[in-house]
Structure 1
Amino acid sequence: MRYEASDLSGQPARAGAWQRRIWLVAAALIVALAAGRLAWLPVHAPLSVNEGWNAAHVVRTFNPDTLYPDPEALIANNYPPLSFLIVGLLSKLTGDAIIAGRLVALLAQIACGLGVAAIVGRLAPGRQWKVAGCCLFGAYCVTLLRSYVAINDPQWLGDAAMVWGVFFLVPRRAGQPPSLRSIAIAAALMVAGELIKHNLVAFPIAVTVWLALFERRALVAWIAFGAAFAAIACAGVFAIWGAIAFIDVLAPARSYSLARMLAKGGPLLLAMLPVLIASRPLLAQWRGDRRLALPIVLLAVAIPLGVVQRAGSGVDVNAFFETVIALSIAVPVATALRPQPSWRWIAISLLPALCLVPRAAAANWRELRQRDAAVRHAAPLIASLRQARGPVACDDQAYCYWAGRESGLDFFSVKQRLLEDRAQALTPALAEGRFALIVMRGHNPGWQENRLIPAIRAHYRTVHARNGIEMLVPKQGSDPRSVQPN
Structure 2
Amino acid sequence: MFVHEKKDQVIWFWCIVWAALFLLTCTRTVLVMFHHVPLDVNEGWNAQLASWTAGGDHRLYSSDRGFVFNNYPPLSFVLMGGLVQLGCDAIITGRILSCFSVLVSAVLIARIIRIVTGTLPAALATASLFLLTANTAFHGYFGMNDPQWLAQALMLGALCVMISRKTIELTGQRLFCCAFLIVLGGFTKHNLVALPFAMFIWLFCVDLKKAVLWSVILGLLLAAGFVICYEVYGISFFRDVFLHQRVIRLGRVIHSVRQLPFMGGMLLVGVGVFVQRWRSMDRRDPSVLVMLFLVFGCLFGFLESLGEGVDYNCMFDAFVAASILCGIGLACLSGSEGKRKKLVQVCWVMALPVLCLLPLWGMTSYQEVQTVRLKDNEWQIYIQSLRMRNTSLLCTDMALCYWADSRDAIDRFNLSQALKKNEEVVFLREMIIHHRFSVVQLYGTMAHYSSGNIIFDSWLAKAGYRPVMDNGEMILLGYIR
Q: TM-score range by the shorter chain?
A: 0.7 to 0.9
Partner of 2:110: 117
2:189 is the counterpart of 1:197: yes
Aligned equivalents of 1:427, 1:92: Cα separation in 2: 32
Q: Is the 8 A contact 2:80 2:94 kept in 1?
A: yes
Q: What amino acid is aligned across from residue 455 of structure 1 in structure 2?
A: S
- The equivalent position to 1:472 in structure 2, one of 458, 469, 476, is 476
Aligned equivalents of 1:273, 1:105: Cα separation in 2: 25
Q: Normalising by structure 1, report the TM-score.
A: 0.87
Q: Is the 8 A contact 1:37 1:367 kept in 2?
A: no
Q: What amino acid is aligned across from residue 215 of structure 2 in structure 1?
A: I
Deviation at 1:396, TM superposition (A): 2.7
Partner of 2:94: 101
Q: What amino acid is aligned across from residue 26 of structure 2 in structure 1?
A: A
Aligned equivalents of 2:368, 2:311: Cα separation in 1: 20
Aligned equivalents of 1:419, 1:465: Cα separation in 2: 31
Q: Please show how residues 168-179 of structure 1 align to structure 2 within 5 Å.
A: 168-171=161-164, 173-174=165-166, 176=168, 178-179=170-171
Aligned equivalents of 2:390, 2:25: Cα separation in 1: 43
Q: What amino acid is aligned across from residue 298 of structure 2 in structure 1?
A: I
Partner of 1:156: 149
Cα distance change on mapping 1:355 and 1:216 into 2, 3 Å: farther
Q: Please show how residues 63-462 of structure 1 align to structure 2 within 5 Å.
A: 63-70=56-63, 74-171=67-164, 173-174=165-166, 176=168, 178-265=170-257, 268=260, 272=264, 275-276=267-268, 278-283=270-275, 284=278, 285-287=280-282, 289-338=284-333, 339=336, 340=338, 342-388=343-389, 390-422=391-423, 423-441=425-443, 450-452=453-455, 454-455=457-458, 458=461, 460-462=465-467
Q: What amino acid is aligned across from residue 194 of structure 1 in structure 2?
A: G
Instruction: State the SS of the aligned residue for 2:343.
Output: coil
2:19 is the counterpart of 1:27: yes
Aligned equivalents of 1:68, 1:457: Cα separation in 2: 25
Deviation at 1:327, TM superposition (A): 0.8
Give RMSD over aligned pairs.
2.9
Cα distance change on mapping 1:396 and 1:133 into 2, 3 Å: farther
Aligned equivalents of 1:131, 1:274: Cα separation in 2: 15
Aligned equivalents of 1:442, 1:453: Cα separation in 2: 15
Deviation at 1:192, TM superposition (A): 0.5
Instruction: State the SS of the aligned residue for 1:166.
Output: helix
Instruction: State the SS of the aligned residue for 1:279.
Output: helix
Name whichever of 298-307 and 212-221 sits farther off. Answer: 212-221
Q: Is the 8 A contact 1:71 1:248 kept in 2?
A: no
Deviation at 1:111, TM superposition (A): 0.8
Name whichever of 355-364 and 199-208 sits farther off. Answer: 355-364
Deviation at 1:369, TM superposition (A): 2.5
Instruction: State the SS of the aligned residue for 1:473.
Output: strand
Cα distance change on mapping 1:139 and 1:70 into 2, 3 Å: same
Aligned equivalents of 1:465, 1:384: Cα separation in 2: 8
Deviation at 1:350, TM superposition (A): 3.6
Q: Is the 8 A contact 1:159 1:193 kept in 2?
A: yes
Q: Is the 8 A contact 1:269 1:303 kept in 2?
A: no
Instruction: State the SS of the aligned residue for 1:258.
Output: coil
Deviation at 1:355, TM superposition (A): 3.3
Aligned equivalents of 1:200, 1:164: Cα separation in 2: 13
Partner of 1:44: 36
Aligned equivalents of 1:215, 1:343: Cα separation in 2: 39
